[in-house]
Structure 1
């Protein structure tokens, strides 16, 4: 997390800037489950008073990104296995809907960009370059979101991705995962490029969803200290 100076501005504006910065940290896994948020440290980092910090924390808690304890203050929540599964199931369904909309609404220029992103994903996977693949992966999904033309849907997807980010940040580290992901992207893109909504939806659901044995293997790779032992 980098130090971020925020020049003088209304408290509401400062609070929103702090909120967005913390969300960015959460979305890349820079803030791990169980990590406490220290108001003084945040105040020094952003060079603002504690008032916008507290407002941002309250907003993030209301959105499920943070939890507040009377004794220990604000922290990043640890998810139970059950809640993590629920979030990933819901994410899969919403991503499938985005692919459905994209297949119906994508524009010619966006089709060219989507095809180019598939080439980038394939090249990064073949080179076994996880950093490059992450960039290509983000671009691919961003293009699907843009083509869906439903901002409210995309907002919900990004929220779920942020809440589960700490648990999926190393998902491309497992052997062969990047190549499988690239093939799945190609199947999604084919449905979208062919304007085949049903095929796009099915391919995206297959790409995002984690169930059965796959979910068991996924959970087994999560450090126990990141999980809520409540079930």
Structure 2
């Protein structure tokens, strides 16, 4: 199997429709078929999606959970005949979809793509929920838009504009950010880059995060350039917070 090609793994004892093979070949998908679950031991690389005939798991729906633990990919149950009870049973056990044979190539492709997008979005959201940005004596949580004191865990009260500015600095440390960029960020793109309102917002932000706002160490003014966030930023996941 070529490394650049993905593959669908079908567990079914009936022959695969050649139209299915030809259709997915156009999208650089191979189709691998096994007649029993025991043959899965032969597969080391995860497939793009897993299709299992209902008859192979109907007596023990917990096998769906076992398959998910092995392959974190879309899992679709296929059936040779209409069976509402089996459909409900499989979906309740965790299957992503239940399809009646014969499988229609375009529909199958669309369903796999839709499930993959949903899984991808969910994974991305979960990653963001776990993300913690550490700098100086502060902890910033992008998912909840919270900033906490690392020592006291008290929440820093910021306006929406102040938070957006701080997040921009924390995401791009040791980099000069111009006034025009910051104005766009705070939804004031119609203002002139020489407008002093952005300076006022940064002054307020300094008063809240700097040890000495009159001698700022975190947010430096760069003459004719903009502002520079000087702190080192560490990105952690919530599960690793205890190591911070």
TM-score, L = length of structure 1: 0.24
Please state which structure has a larger fraction of its residues in strand.
2
Q: Which has the higher contact order (CA 8 A, sep 6+)?
A: 1
